[in-house]
Structure formats: structure tokens, C-alpha cells
Chain A
Amino acid sequence: DAGVIQSPRHEVTEMGQEVTLRCKPISGHDYLFWYRQTMMRGLELLIYFNNNVPIDDSGMPEDRFSAKMPNASFSTLKIQPSEPRDSAVYFCASGKTILEAFFGQGTRLTVV
């Protein structure tokens, strides 16, 4: 398996634009996680899914953020509208259990 695949690897967008980050988890993994990494706050769990169902989204910073998992092989994290403070590296991870996740390489988002 190729591992968790995220796209794009880098995204630069203007403030106010919509941004969509994509993730393909490892086949057979029932859990999918979205994380955000910043210098100030480190790594934060935003939301996770179990069998395509969102279980806990309490880490989502505000209503501008939304995540979907329409099927077992695809998930998106959307920010609309984007703001400069959203600039961070966003990681997607998947796992067979909730405790041991395999991470993608991340998407570096820059909002100018």
C-alpha cells in the first residue's frame, strides 16, 4: 500500500478563498483523522471518523472548517472562507485502531 496520500502538498491561497484538502487513507483502515500543526500550538486533532462517520469534531476551530468522508477511500477538509491564521501544515492519518495512526506527508497551507 502507498500509505496515506494527501493532496495538494502545498497550497497558497488568498484570504477569503475556499480551500479543499484531500486525503486517501490506507485501505482497510477504519479510522481517519485530520490534524493541524502550527508552531504555537503544535499538533492538534481537528476531527476523526470511524467507518466514514464523524465521531468527534470538537477540535475543529470554527464553523469555517468542515470535513467530509463520502466513502472509505476519500476524505476532504474544507476551509471557507480562509484566513491568514489558518496557515499551517494539515495532516491526514488513518488507522485500524484509534490509538495508532499512520500519517500522510501533510499539506502546507499558506493563506496570504
Chain B
Amino acid sequence: DQQVKQNSPSLSVQEGRISILNCDYTNSMFDYFLWYKKYPAEGPTFLISISSIKDKNEDGRFTVFLNKSAKHLSLHIVPSQPGDSAVYFCAARWAGNQFYFGTGTSLTVIP
């Protein structure tokens, strides 16, 4: 059973607009959440993370929001750039150091 779900397999956004990637989880014991970006033929690259004690973490154009009551995580990219086109994975850590990943969302930023 998927404990971390990314229900949108793909997303297209115009350059300069906001990209919002969503992630839902089922386990309230997750204590840390991460986002990875993956280009074709390359390994995933760590992007940004957030602890479960926070509800927002910002790093440049990337902001991650955590809504614990809804068990929902989102990644905002503002403004979106063509180089942001990639597959984005969200991941969650259970306190026992077990990691669970979503299936990924393919983002296409249209110039």
C-alpha cells in the first residue's frame, strides 16, 4: 500500500508562473519530508526538506508547505523556469528511519 502518494503523474506550467506539486501521505508518524528532482538518465537530486514540526520551509524559488491535519505536502516553484522541467519525487521518513517515496510527478515548464 502506498504510504506516500503523488496523484498527478504530470503537470504543465507556463514559464514565469507558479508550479504546485502535491503529495499526500497516510502515516501520521512521519517526521521528515523531502523533495527530490530527477532529470532523465540521472539520479534524483535532493531539493528541499521540511521537519514535521514546521509548516513551511523556503529556499530561493522553492517553498515546501506541510499541512499535518490534512496529511498533505506541497512544493511551490515561483517563478517556474524551463530548467525546472523534471520528475519530482516527494519522500517521507518514519521515525524508525524507513523512507517512503511517491511515484513522482513530471513537470514540464513551457517557454
Chain A interface (Cβ < 8 Å from any Cβ of B) = 4, 35, 40-45, 48, 55-56, 58-59, 91, 93, 98-106
B57 to chain A, nearest CB (A): 13
A41 to B101, CA, bound (A): 9
Give the nearest-CB partner of B42 in chain A: A105
B42 with A43: CB separation less than 8 A: no
A100 with B97: CB separation less than 8 A: no
Residues on the B chain within 8 Å of A44, using CB: 101
Residues on the A chain within 8 Å of B6, using CB: 42
Give the nearest-CB partner of B49 in chain A: A99
Contact bitstring B79-91, A, C-beta under 8 A = 1, else 0: 0000000000101
Chain B interface (Cβ < 8 Å from any Cβ of A) = 6, 32, 34, 36, 41-46, 49, 89, 91, 93, 96-104
Is chain B's interface secondary structure helix, strand, loop, or mixed overall?
Answer: strand
A24 to chain B, nearest CB (A): 13
A91 to B45, CA, bound (A): 12
B93 with A99: CB separation less than 8 A: yes
Select the residue from B41, B96, B99 with max chain A CB neighbours within 10 A: B99
A41 with B44: CB separation less than 8 A: no
In the complex, given contacts A58-B98, A91-B43, A101-B46, what are 13 additional A-B residue pairs having Cβ atoms less than 8 angstroms apart? A40-B103, A42-B102, A43-B36, A43-B104, A44-B101, A98-B93, A99-B32, A99-B34, A100-B34, A100-B49, A105-B41, A105-B43, A106-B43
Residues on the A chain within 8 Å of B102, using CB: 42
A105 to chain B, nearest CB (A): 5
Residues on the B chain within 8 Å of A45, using CB: 98-101
Residues on the B chain within 8 Å of A102, using CB: 43, 45-46
Residues on the B chain within 8 Å of A42, using CB: 6, 89, 101-104
